[in-house]
């Protein structure tokens, strides 16, 4: 399985600090057995986010595209809108599980607007921008990700 990591942060893409959130997503991808095909670090720009998600799904044919950042309530947080424009089918259980596990760690758990969905043969999942939140949310869904990718690819499930 091939994976891409897309970090969405205007400040980080301008050189303000390290992309530790992208590093956390790369660690998660490794735990689910994915090979990292590439990483992006881009600003909070809806058209650019859409373009990069399409690139990793359509051109590079990554089975898993993981994004971090831009899922909150700030005016510049447009990752869910960009993702919704790109996906063909939503996968609501994934972000529901991610929000549910966040409940025990933050009183603001319900403010995450991240989405997950399918584009062609790719699963796209939006994660929050916080490295700690990525670790928590990733733990909630990591066992399901390989199975989801197999189902999207049309491979029969192993029961």
Give pLDDT, residue 158.
67
Give the number of domains in the chain: 1
The pTM of the full predicted model, rounded to 2 decimals, is 0.94
Q: What is the CATH number of the domain that holds 99?
A: 3.40.980.10
In a domain, 159, yes or no: no
Ranges of the chain whose pLDDT falls below 70: 157-159
In a domain, 52, yes or no: yes
In a domain, 94, yes or no: yes
Q: How far is CA 122 from the centre of its chain?
A: 11
In a domain, 67, yes or no: yes
Coil vs helix vs strand at 133: helix
| Structural domain containing residue 51 | 2-152
In a domain, 157, yes or no: no
How many whole angstroms separate alpha carbon 13 and alpha carbon 119?
26
In a domain, 69, yes or no: yes
Residue pLDDT, tens place only, 82-102 = 999 999 999 999 999 999 988
Tokens for 40, please give them.
Answer: 């992006």
Residue identified by tokens 């399985």 is 1
């Amino acid at each position: 399985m091939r994976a891409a990591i897309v970090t969405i942060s205007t400040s980080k893409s301008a050189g303000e600090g390290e992309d530790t959130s992208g590093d956390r997503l790369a660690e998660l991808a490794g735990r689910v057995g994915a090979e990292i095909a590439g990483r992006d670090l881009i600003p909070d720009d809806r058209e650019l986010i859409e373009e990069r998600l399409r690139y990793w799904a359509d051109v590079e044919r990554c089975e898993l595209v993981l994004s971090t950042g831009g899922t909150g309530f700030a005016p510049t947080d447009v990752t869910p809108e960009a993702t919704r424009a790109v996906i063909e089918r939503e996968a609501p259980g994934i972000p529901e599980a991610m929000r549910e596990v966040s409940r025990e760690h933050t009183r603001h758990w319900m403010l995450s607007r991240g989405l997950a969905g399918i584009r062609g043969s790719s699963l796209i999942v939006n994660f929050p921008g916080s490295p700690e939140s990525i670790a928590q949310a990733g733990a909630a869904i990591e066992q399901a990700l390989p199975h989801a990718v197999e189902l999207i690819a049309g491979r029969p499930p192993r029961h």
